A and B are shown apart, each in its own frame.
Chain A
Amino acid sequence: MKTRYLVIHGTAANSEEAIKLCGDALYKAGIVEKNFGVLCAQREKDFPTGLPTEIPTAIPHVKDEGITQNAICLLKLNCPVTFKRLDDDTEEVKTDMIFNLAIKDANEHLAVLQKMMAFLNDPEVLLKCKKLSNKETEAYLQEKLGS
């Protein structure tokens, strides 16, 4: 099954609110169950996902049976929020780009996940995502990360 890409724009006071915005968007698209955002936010507390790359991002996600298809929801924020770092939870990053992953089958999703990590390391493509409209960004992600 193909990977779906959703891109939304919003405002959040903190990482928890940001994650819930993504969870709601994925829920409305019929990809996850209603509590997905809450589950992701809970997991984020125990195992944070902030990435200290050149342009920092975060990749909140959770293992959940209710996911119907592999999907990535990118939330572009008006103002950055703080995430603790995946590799060191005593450190933080500030980001206005959150990539919420809904992973139904990681093995099937592997190529996309690998491409995504390279993508997140590339300041040029991330800056391009910021400039594009939501619809354009969806097409761009599809083109860059594949299905």
Chain B
Amino acid sequence: MAKEVKVLVACGSGVATSTIAQEEIKEIAKNAGVKIRLVKGTIAEVPIKQKDVDVVFTTANYRNPLEKPHLSVFGLVSGLNKEASKKKVEELLKTISEEL
């Protein structure tokens, strides 16, 4: 059985946009057949929390270098280029899942 991909979803305050993005990512993972475990956080927590996950998704811009794969998922929240955003998330989750 495929291993679980540990996912961090972060936004400015950890309440609004990360909650919306989290639901979208759950749905994408389910459709892609990738098992994930989600952790939510704030952008400020990313440098620490990234250590415990396989991939980081942020809704706001995050420019500092990360140790883990990172994708900005503003599109999932705002609806702008949502389909393209969904596809990127799906591909990244699949790639990571295969590498675990």
Chain A interface (Cβ < 8 Å from any Cβ of B): 43, 46-49, 51-53, 59, 61-63, 86-89, 101, 103, 106-107, 109-110, 113-114, 117-118, 120-121
Contact = CB atoms under 8 A, between A and B. Distances in A.
Contact of B79 (A87, A103, A117): A117
A101 B23 CA distance: 19
A87 B12 contact: no
Given A47-B60, A89-B61, A103 B16 contact: yes
A87 B15 contact: no
A43 B79 contact: no
Contact of A43 (B13, B17, B72, B80): B13
B13 A87 contact: no
Nearest to A86: B60
B19 interface: yes
Nearest to A67: B15
Contacts of A103: 15-16
B19 A87 contact: no
Interface of B: 11-17, 19-20, 23, 43, 59-61, 72, 74, 77-80
Given A110-B20, A114-B20, A114-B23, A53 B13 contact: no
Which 8 residue pairs are nearest across A and B when measured between Cβ atoms? A47-B12, A87-B74, A106-B19, A121-B79, A63-B13, A106-B15, A63-B15, A103-B15
A63 B14 contact: yes
Given A87-B61, A87-B74, A106 B16 contact: yes
Nearest to A40: B13
A86 B11 CA distance: 10
B11 to A, nearest CB: 8
Contacts of B13: 43, 47, 61-63
Contacts of A120: 78-79
A113 B17 CA distance: 8
A87 B17 CA distance: 11
Contact of B43 (A47, A51, A118): A47
Given A47-B12, A87-B60, A117 B19 contact: no
